[in-house]
Structure 1
Amino acid sequence: MNRTEVVTITNMCMVYDGNTVLVQEKTDDDYCGVTFPGGHVEKGESFTDAVIREVFEETGLRISSPVLCGIKDWSNDDGSRYMVLFYKTNKYEGKLSSSNEGEVYWMEIDDMKKANLADGMEKMLEVFLKENLSEYFFYKENNKWVDVLK
C-alpha cells in the first residue's frame, strides 16, 4: 500500500493582543472576506519560518514564537491533500501595513465573529480559540462535502 500523497501545505496565524486580533480582509476572487494572514510554505522551508515570512509579507509585522494550535485539511478530487497549519502568537513588532493580499487591521475577537468572514473562517476560529479542538477536516460523502471539527 502506497502511503505517499501529494500535499500542498499552507499556514494561517492569529496574531493577538488580549481580546484584539489582527485580521486581513482578503480580496482574492477565490478566497475573500475577513481572515487571518498566512500563505504557502515554500519547498524546503520550515513551517515556522514560512508563517513568520507570510505574516511579515502581508502585514509588515515580524512575529516571533508562533505556536502550532491546529490544522485544516481535506483531500482534493485528484487525490492530493491540502493542509493549513494554524498558528497563534502575541509576540510581534514593526509597523502595520497592508499588502496586495488585502487590508489588515486590528479587531476585537467578538466583533470578528460578526464580520463578513472568509469561507470556513467561523469554524476555523473555533479551532484557534478552543483548547479541545485541533482539526477542521473535510471529506466527500456521496459527492457532498462534509466538514468536521475534531
Structure 2
Amino acid sequence: MAWPTHIVAAGGFAENEQGDILLVKTHDGGWVFPGGQVEVGENLVDALIREIKEESGIDVTVSQLIGVYSNTGIHKWYDGVTDVPTKVMFDFICKPVGGELCTSEETSEVMWVAKEKVLDWITQPAIRTRYQAYLDYDGNTRYMDYVTGDTFEVNLDRTV
C-alpha cells in the first residue's frame, strides 16, 4: 500500500494594535502573509509560531482557526521541474506579542501594511483569496478546495 503524500501547512494573519497586517516577501512567490509547512512531530500552532518568527522576526500568539484550504492540484515548483504535492492549509488569526521585524533565508522584505491596502501587495490568486476570506471572516470557519498551477480554480467554497 502506498500512503498519500500531502503537505500540511499553517498561515497566520498577524494584526497589530494599529490594525496593520504582517506581510513577508518571499524570494520566489512575492508578498504573502507568513506561514509554512508543519514539520514531522510538530503541531499546527507550534509550526505557525515558528514559521512567523523565522520569516519575519515577530513573536505571535495564535487565536482562532478561520479557514481550511485544500490545494488539490499537483503543480510545478518555481524551478519548473519539481512536482509539488497536494496541500492542506490551516489559516489562523494571530496577535503579535514581541520580536523585531527582520528578514530571513526565506524572505527578502517584511513589513506591516494597513489592512485595506494588503491586496495592493499580494498578487498570487490563492493568497489573495485566503486574505479576502480573512477580511470577510464572520466567526464561521471557511473551507475551500482549489487548484493552482497554470490557472487558479475554486472547486468548493463553503463554511463548516
TM-score grouping bracket, smaller chain normalisation: 0.7 to 0.9
Equivalent residue, structure 1, for 2:113: 107
TM-score by structure 2 length? Answer: 0.76
TM-score by structure 1 length? Answer: 0.80
| 3-state SS of paired residue (2:49) | helix
Q: Distance in 2 between matches of 1:73 and 1:106?
A: 27
Q: 1:22 to 1:115 in 2, by over 3 A?
A: same
Q: Distance in 2 between matches of 1:96 and 1:145?
A: 31
1:63 aligns with one of 49, 60, 64: 60
Gaps of 5+ in 1: none
Equivalent residue, structure 2, for 1:10: 9
Following superposition, the deviation at residue 126 of structure 1 comes to 1.8
Q: 1:139 to 1:122 in 2, by over 3 A?
A: closer
> Quick check: 65-74 or 102-111, which moved more?
65-74
| Preserved contact between residue 124 and residue 136 of structure 1 (Cα < 8 Å) | no
| 3-state SS of paired residue (2:120) | coil
Q: 1:110 to 1:35 in 2, by over 3 A?
A: same
Following superposition, the deviation at residue 14 of structure 1 comes to 0.8
Equivalent residue, structure 1, for 2:128: 122
Report percent identity of matched pairs.
22
| 3-state SS of paired residue (1:10) | strand
* One-letter amino acid matched to 2:153: V
| Preserved contact between residue 21 and residue 107 of structure 1 (Cα < 8 Å) | yes
Equivalent residue, structure 1, for 2:21: 21
Following superposition, the deviation at residue 139 of structure 1 comes to 5.1
2:90 aligns with one of 66, 85, 88: 85
Q: Distance in 1 between matches of 2:115 and 2:157?
A: 20
Runs of 4+ in structure 1 over 4 Å off: none
| 3-state SS of paired residue (1:93) | strand
| Preserved contact between residue 126 and residue 152 of structure 2 (Cα < 8 Å) | no
Equivalent residue, structure 2, for 1:52: 49
| Preserved contact between residue 34 and residue 115 of structure 1 (Cα < 8 Å) | yes
Following superposition, the deviation at residue 149 of structure 1 comes to 3.0
Q: Deviations over 1:25-55 (max 9, x none)?
A: 1221xxx122111111001111110001101
Q: Give the number of aligned pairs.
A: 141
Q: 1:145 to 1:119 in 2, by over 3 A?
A: closer
Equivalent residue, structure 2, for 1:146: 153
Equivalent residue, structure 1, for 2:77: none
